Structure 1
């Protein structure tokens, strides 16, 4: 089973959705047969790397609410995160552009370190209040995930993996994805948003059962003579 996850590293529900999916997969009896792939998606491709505005002020402006209302809304999201073991520090969060972070994730995917880098990027932004567009921050995260610093420097200093990021964003557009997180199971079923664990569990069981059923070829005739393991039916 393949699960593709479109998400952005500054999206709180993406981190919550990621953790809920992981909590669903942990007891899933066929976990070793499930491949999870994270895809690139930028909530705001035009976001600046640095802004004088807090996340509360940005949310207030975006949704036409007061800063106090934005703080309450973020506090509610923080409680949802806390319920699954995550810590969101909205007061010190550094809103930023995520394009380079996505390029680093694409590089990590090629090196077999995608999951380590994705988790570290989310944690750096939401818990450690790091600016994940900063070159030194990204290099620090790359090294911590087991990637070579010099190669990571080469990636970030050039335009490497930009095409891959844009390709996955184009895939999202073709699928009609306008919000994240967005989960696609086996290219057939979609789950939009940070759904409860029970929703993920039911989806996994449904797709797994269908996958097993589809692996059996329907017979167009009664069973005939066959040869198996070096022996042939001769009766």
Structure 2
């Protein structure tokens, strides 16, 4: 089964949702058969990667609220994050562009490090106050998960993976994704938002059961018969 997760690294509910999904996955009986893929989504493609505008100021300007109201709003989100053991420090975050961060995750995927890179980007932004739009900081964070910092820095100076990021964003748009986080399971079911672990687990179980109907054993005379999905055959394991 494949789970595709459209998210952005400056989206608080994407990080909270990621943790809740991971909690569900830990309880899923077939977790070793789940492929998780992170897909690109930018909340603000026009954002300045070198901005020093605080999250509080950005929210106040965007939603027409006071700085105090912005602090109150983010405090509530921080409480939700704390409930899943994530420390949010909004006082250290700034508005930034995440296009290069998404390119970096594509680079990391080539080396089997996309999940580690995604987690480090989320933690870097929300917990450590890193500007995940700054290329120098991205190279440092990449090194922390085992990637070559020089290779990352060189990649970021090119347009490598730009088409891949744009393609995923367009694909998300075509699927009707207007906000994140957004989870697509086997291109059949979707879960929108940072839902509870129970919602994620129920969805995983539902898709799994549809893909793998349970076997039903019935007795027919002296013969043991195993039936599944409209097909029956003698159980050769019986002597």
What is the TM-score of this pair, normalised by structure 2?
Answer: 0.88
Gaps of 5+ in 2: 216-227
2:218 matched residue in structure 1: none
Partners in 2 of 1:51 and 1:144 — Cα distance?
24
RMSD: 1.8
Task: Supply the distance in 1 between the matched residues of 2:230 and 2:174 (Cα, whole angstroms).
Answer: 33
User: In the aligned structure 2, how far is the partner of 1:181 from the partner of 1:214?
Assistant: 31
Tell me, yes or no, if the aligned pair for 2:93 and 2:126 is still in contact at 8 Å.
yes
Look up the SS of the partner of 2:180 in the other structure.
Answer: coil
Match in the other structure for 1:96: 96
Q: Structure 1, unaligned stretches of length 5 or more?
A: 229-235
In structure 1, what is the equivalent of residue 22 of structure 2? 22
**Cα 1:53/1:151, change in 2 over 3 Å:** closer
User: Structure 1 stretches (4+) deviating beyond 3 angstroms?
Assistant: 214-219
**2:88 match: secondary structure:** coil
Mapping 1:154-169, distance limit 5 Å: 154-169=154-169
Corresponding residue of 2:106: 106
The 1-side partners of 2:22 and 2:159 are apart by 32
Aligned residues: 223
Q: TM-score, normalised by structure 1?
A: 0.90
Tell me the alpha carbon deviations over residues 70-107 of structure 1, each in whole angstroms, 9 at most, x when there is no partner. Answer: 11110000000001000110111122100111100011
Residue number in structure 1 paired with 2:151: 151
Per-residue deviation, 1:223: 6.2
For the residues of structure 1 that align with 2:55 and 2:190, how far apart are their CA atoms? Answer: 29
Measure how far apart 1:60 and its partner are.
Answer: 1.8
1:205-227 C-alpha deviation (Å, 9 max, x unpaired) = 111111102996645xx869xxx
* Number of the residue aligned with 2:224: none
* Distance change >3 Å, CA 145–CA 174, structure 1 → 2: same
Q: Distance in 1 between matches of 2:147 and 2:139?
A: 9
For the pair 1:123 / 2:123, whether they are aligned, the reply is: yes
- For 1:163-187, what per-residue CA distance to the aligned partner results, in whole angstroms no more than 9, with x for missing partners? 0000000000100101000000010
